[in-house]
Structure formats: C-alpha cells, structure tokens
Amino acid sequence: MSERSRPPDPSGWRATPGALRTAAVAGACLLVLTAVVALVAWVLILLAPLTLAVVAALLLTALLGPVAALLRAPAWLSALGTVLFLLFVVAGPLTLVANQAVAQLGDLESRLLTGLERLRGFLTSGPLSQNQLDAAIAEMTETLQRAAPSPLAGAMTALQTVASVLVALVLLFFLLRDGAGMWRWAVDQVPPHRRRQVDAAARAGWETLVAYIRGIVVVAAIDAVGIGIALFVLDVPLALTLAFLTFLFAFIPIAGAFTAGAVAVLVALVANGLTNALLVLAAVVVVQQVEGNFLEPIIIGRALRLHPAVVLTAVTGGTLVGGIAGAVVAVPLVAVTYRVADRARGYAEERRAQPLPAGGGPPDPPPGRDRPEGPGRPEGPAPDADRPGRGPGSRRDG
C-alpha cells in the first residue's frame, strides 16, 4: 500500500520516530510486567503462612533428596522415612540446642544491659548530656513497645507457625513421593514446541537450588563450629547460644555473618573486656574469610556465586518485603531466576544453531536434550504420537 492510499492517522503514531515508538512499547510492557509482579508479591505476602510452608517444603526437598534416594524402598516409604529422619535426627538435636540457647537468653540480656549501662556512663561523661541520653532511650523503648505484638497477636502468630510447619511436612512428603510425576504433568501442560526448552530451563534452576541449599547448610555448620570453638577456647559466656545464632544467621548472606559476629564481639566485650573482644573479632574474621574465599567456592561452586552487590541488593529487598524470611529466600530466588533465564536463552541459541534437515523440517534438538529427562521418565524412542504417521487416528501398517 502506498503512502497516498493509506487512511489518515489522526493519532500521529506513524509520524512518530521509530525509536520513540519502540521505547514507548517497551515502557508499556515493562509497566505491565511490574504490575503483574507486584500483584503476585502482594498475594504471596497476603498468604504468608502458606507461602512460607511451600517455600520450606521446596527447600527441604532439595536438601533431603539424597536421603530419600538412599532408602531403597517404595516411594511412599522412602518419603515417610525421610520425613521421620528430618524430625528425629535433624530437628531433634537442633531443638535441644535451641532450648538451651533460649534458656540462656536471660543471661545474655542481663549482660547486654550491663554493657549498655557502661556505654551510657561513658557517653554521659563525654559528648552527650544525661537528658539527651534519657530522651533517646525513652524514645527507643517506646518504639520497641509499639512494635511488640499483643498477647492475642502473639498467640495467632504461634498458631500460624504451627500450621505452616504441619503443611510444610505434608507437602514435603508428597514432593518426595510424587515429585517426578508432578513435574511430568506440569511439562505436559506446556505447548509441545516449548516443552523441551521449559524442561531444560526448569531443571537447571532446580539443580541450582539443590546445590545452593545443600552448600549453604554445610557452610553454616562450618561457621557455627569454627566460631563456637573459638568462643569456648576464649571462655566467652553463652558460647553455645552464640554458635547456634551464627548457624541461623549464616542463611542470610553478608548481613547475617556480620550481625552474628557483632553480637559475639559485643558479648565478649561486656563479659571479658576489650582484649578478649578483639581476640573474638579476629577469630570471627578468620573463620568467615576462610569460609567465604576458600570453602564456599568449593562447596557451593563458583557458578552459583553472585556479585556481592547483587547479593546485598537482593537481601535488602527481601528484608523490606518479607522480613527475615524474605532475606533468607531472596538470594536463592535470584540465583534460580538467573539460571533459568540463562538456560532458556542458551537452549534457544542451540536450537537456532542446528542446521535444518534435508527435508526442510524443524532442526533436531540439541544432543542429549531430545526429551525431558529425570526420574521416572522412560527412555528409548519417542511415543507413537510424536512420530509422523503414528498420531491419533492414523492407520498402522499391517
């Protein structure tokens, strides 16, 4: 159609420069995607107990998969044995340690208050006046009291936590028992020409999650044992509590290690003085440097390591959105998302690089990825429905 035969364009869209039109369309798409992501995040936060239960079940499935594989039994029995292993072998000792840590929290609080009193005396004799410090402490106390939940809210939170734990355990059982079948069903819902790409990308993301969660548990245990031994040797009070705190905070990259180390140094300063605190600081720095620069690349793998700026941004964003739970989930979520996108893009490039067959049909799939792989997936030739002349309703020879 020539320019003269085209109908008039009152909106002026055709007269707009091409680059500006492209930018406008891209901006509109970005706004729509942002709105969708915000809506999904809002729903997940609204259903926070269920969201945490599903996330915990996925993480535990990635962590305990080898245990289920070692139990050479029917699927339901292996899944049940793995859940019992989690409850009695893993959760039992951790619960005992946690109870001892909670029992020592009163002592920790009294020591911290003593240290704060010393700090208050130092500040009032130096840069601050007594009135200024009292006003600051009163404001801080009022803020903490407003943030503290009421007894009813605390009871509801405890009830939701128990319910989330039960749901997570039930989901863990079903994921361990029927995970392969669930995944095959999900892949079958994708359009046929996209199934292999979706399967390859999702499996790459799952492998990333498995490597991350298993590696971070080992790294957290090494941190806790190393720093705990240093605290015992240096005769720091509440060493077991501080070691357990180090293990928990290790699941929050960067910020968690800094916070746990700062608490340990503060307790040593209050209880044993400046020299002991400096020795604790040196031990914490040595353990964390060995873990971060030597052990973590070996255990987790360099392929999973994100730039510290990305990790810090993800932890901050996760904390603002979901608190401590958001900080724990943020980094594996970013790592899995990046790996899925990278694998999907790589698969598409491999398909485009494949030469067309002589008959002019679609290119062959990349080597080794002609069909979804995984437990329970039958090997051998493709089903008859995938072969020319063997689809539903076609005649078979002979």
Residues in the chain, total: 398
Query: What pLDDT does residue 381 have?
Result: 38
Question: Which pLDDT belongs to residue 319?
Answer: 82
Q: Return the pLDDT at 365.
A: 54
Cα–Cα distance, 338 to 301 (Å, whole number): 15
CA distances from 246 to 12, 20, 135, 284, 323 (A): 63, 52, 33, 10, 18
> What's the confidence (pLDDT) of residue 341?
87
User: Is this prediction's pTM over 0.85?
Assistant: no
DSSP 194: G
Residue 396, classified by CB atoms within 10 Å of its CB into exposed (0-12), middle (13-18) or buried (19+), is exposed
Q: What's residue 380's pLDDT?
A: 38
User: What is the per-residue pLDDT for 125?
Assistant: 66
Positions of the chain with pLDDT lower than 50, given as ranges: 361, 368-398
pLDDT score at 8: 62
The contacts of residue 12 (CB under 8 Å, 6+ apart) are none
Residues 6+ apart with CB under 8 A from 285: 261
Instruction: Please state, in angstroms and rounded to a whole number, the distance separating the CA atoms of residues 154 and 156.
Output: 5
d(Cα 134, Cα 120) in Å, to the nearest integer? 9
Q: Give the pLDDT of residue 250.
A: 84
Distance CA 180, CA 372 (A): 11
Check residue 348 and give its pLDDT.
Answer: 77
Q: What is the pLDDT of residue 173?
A: 93
- The whole-number pLDDT of residue 282 equals 92
Largest CA distance in the chain: 103
Place of tokens 């360099």: 302
Looking at residue 12, its pLDDT comes to 61
Residue 190: burial class (beta carbons within 10 Å; 0-12, 13-18, 19+): middle
